[in-house]
């Protein structure tokens, strides 16, 4: 069946235009001013038409997390993000023991293609457990450890077709060998929850690591050694031009001014928006609710998850539309750039060659939203 979308402002890689968009069998077949045959029609009503949002770092939503390891949790958490424009997600699993991680991966493997799961799921993101204890943040410190060759080889042997990305701390003992393993297996490596210095980041970068997990959140900055300043992860990310950085653009983790700074230095090409949403993602009326990640308790307050002592954040409750809204309405970033950082950039990072753009031959993952970034319609394939 051929579907036509008319009367929309299409966000294309080279600008915004008003043309007709046609798709058939899950693929965009034409973007043109011409009137072509169609079987169904949707009037976008002058709203924006974008490629579907891609969230490469999301733990859950709707009261569930992917680590809960049930089909109910997978469906509920994934689908609430689909309702907010996310057409592709990479379920993220925090630092836990082997058994809990394997259980979550097993459920994900069993049901990721189930008809009840709306967004595309092409793999999982393991956020840990090979992190710096000094930068564990809301991760449960009892599970933080150095890379264990037997463990990650065992996980890959069983779920290698599912593990698409792995965040780790490059300064740890055994991290170089772990990175070589990730590169060999085609898994996207990302530096996160790390106390690394420039030398560690540069070495990892030269050996294929090209992504920083949630910049400014649990990432080291300049320190001194015998009086001399040493660059941390943040400065290294700025210095290395081709390094991509994740940004939790919920307006809490990174204030608008900081989003402006990251955008000014990294530009639209190397900035990627993520929700980092935990189980309260997309939920309303949840102020002062308490929960825990492993043995780490947190509270929902001021529209964000905080550690109970208020010393730091414990994850966001944002959805993808919130990120676009924050960037455009508060940080002054253009809509085209903000959308690119939620579509084209994550697609490139994860090697999705048919996603992230409105273009002929690309998958028909399409989001329609108004001037206030309120979702009006979502097409998934």
pLDDT in the model for residue 287:
85
Q: Please write down the long-range contacts of 263-268, taking CB distance under 8 Å and 24 or more positions apart.
A: 263/331, 263/333, 263/337, 265/238, 266/237, 266/238, 268/333, 268/337, 268/340, 268/341, 268/345
**Global pTM?**
0.97
Let me know: does 218 contact 194? Beta carbons within 8 Å.
yes
Q: Flag residues of the chain having pLDDT under 70.
A: none
| Residue 311: per-residue pLDDT | 87
Same-domain status, 96 and 241: yes
SS3 91: strand
H/E element holding 273? strand 271-274
Q: Which of 246, 118, 253 is nearest to 188 (CA)?
A: 246
In this prediction, residue 259 carries a pLDDT of 98
Tell me what pLDDT residue 367 has.
98
Q: What is the pLDDT of residue 292?
A: 76
Q: Are residues 158 and 197 in the same domain?
A: yes
CB atoms within 10 A of CB 223: 12
Q: Can you give the CATH number for the domain in which 375 is found?
A: 2.30.40.10
Domain that holds residue 43: 1-51+356-381
Q: In sequence order, what DSSP letters do the residues of 176-243 get, joined into one string?
A: HHHHHHHHHHTPEEEE-SB--BHHHHHHHHHTT--EESSTTSSB---EEETTEEE-BHHHHHHHSTT-
Q: Are residues 334 and 210 in the same domain?
A: yes
Structure confidence by residue, pLDDT tens digits, 182-235? 999 999 999 999 999 999 999 999 999 999 999 999 999 999 999 999 999 999
- Cα–Cα distance list, 309 to 294, 312, 339 (Å): 17, 8, 35
Same domain, 372 and 322: no
Q: Answer yes or no: are the C-beta atoms of 316 and 246 closer than 8 Å.
A: no
SS3 category, 24: strand
Say yes or no: 161 and 74 in one domain: yes
Per-residue model confidence as pLDDT tens digits over 307-324: 888 988 988 999 999 999
Q: What is the CA radius of gyration of the chain?
A: 20
What does the DSSP assignment read for 297-348? EEEEETTEEEETTSSSEEEB---HHHHHHIIIIIS---HHHHHHTTTHHHHH
**One domain for residues 166 and 39:** no
Quick one: pLDDT at residue 293? Answer: 78
> For residue 247, what pLDDT is reported?
98
110: domain CATH number is 3.20.20.140
Domain count for the chain: 2
In terms of domains, do 15 and 145 share one? no
**Domain co-membership, 172 together with 278:** yes
As a whole number of angstroms, the distance between CA 133 and CA 139 comes to: 9
Tracing tokens 């028909």 back to the chain, one arrives at: 364
Answer yes or no: do 347 and 202 share one domain: yes
In this structure, are 180 and 106 located in the same domain? yes
Phi, psi of 366 (to 5 degrees): -135, 135
Together in a domain, 152 and 163: yes
- Identify whether residues 100 and 166 lie together within a single domain: yes
Q: Tell me, what's the pLDDT at 141?
A: 93
């Amino acid at each position: 069946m051929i579907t036509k979308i008319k009367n929309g402002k299409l966000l294309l890689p080279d600008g915004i235009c008003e043309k007709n968009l046609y798709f058939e069998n899950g693929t965009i077949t034409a973007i043109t001013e011409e009137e072509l045959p169609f079987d169904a029609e949707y009037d976008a009503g002058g709203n924006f038409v974008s490629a579907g949002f891609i969230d490469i770092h999301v733990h859950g939503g709707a009261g569930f997390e992917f680590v809960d390891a049930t089909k109910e949790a997978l469906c509920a958490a994934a689908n609430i993000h689909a309702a907010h424009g996310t057409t592709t997600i990479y379920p993220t699993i925090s630092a836990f023991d082997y058994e809990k991680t394997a259980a979550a991966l097993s459920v994900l493997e069993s049901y990721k293609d189930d008809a009840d799961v709306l967004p595309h799921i092409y793999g999982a993101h393991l956020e840990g457990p090979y992190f710096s204890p000094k930068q564990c943040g809301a991760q449960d410190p009892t599970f933080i450890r150095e890379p264990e060759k037997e463990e990650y080889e065992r996980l890959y042997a069983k779920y290698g077709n599912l593990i698409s990305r792995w965040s780790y701390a490059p300064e740890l003992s055994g991290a170089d060998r772990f990175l070589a393993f990730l590169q060999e297996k085609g898994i996207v490596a990302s530096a996160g929850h790390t106390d690394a210095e420039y030398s560690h980041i540069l070495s990892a970068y030269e050996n294929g690591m090209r992504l920083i997990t949630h910049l400014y959140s649990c990432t080291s900055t300049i320190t001194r050694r015998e009086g001399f300043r040493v660059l941390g992860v943040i400065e290294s990310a700025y210095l290395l031009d081709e390094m991509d950085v994740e940004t939790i653009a919920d307006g809490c983790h990174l204030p608008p001014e900081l989003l402006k700074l990251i955008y000014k230095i990294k530009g639209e090409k190397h900035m990627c928006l993520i929700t980092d949403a935990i189980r309260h993602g997309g939920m309303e009326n949840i102020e002062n609710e308490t929960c825990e990640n492993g043995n780490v308790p947190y509270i929902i307050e001021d529209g964000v998850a905080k550690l109970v002592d208020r010393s730091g954040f414990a994850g966001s409750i944002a959805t993808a539309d919130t990120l676009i809204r924050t960037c455009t309405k508060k940080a002054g970033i253009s809509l085209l750039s903000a959308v690119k950082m939620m579509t084209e950039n994550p697609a490139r990072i994860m090697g999705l060659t048919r996603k992230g753009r409105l273009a002929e031959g690309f998958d028909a993952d399409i989001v329609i939203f108004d001037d206030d970034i309120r979702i009006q319609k979502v097409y998934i394939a």
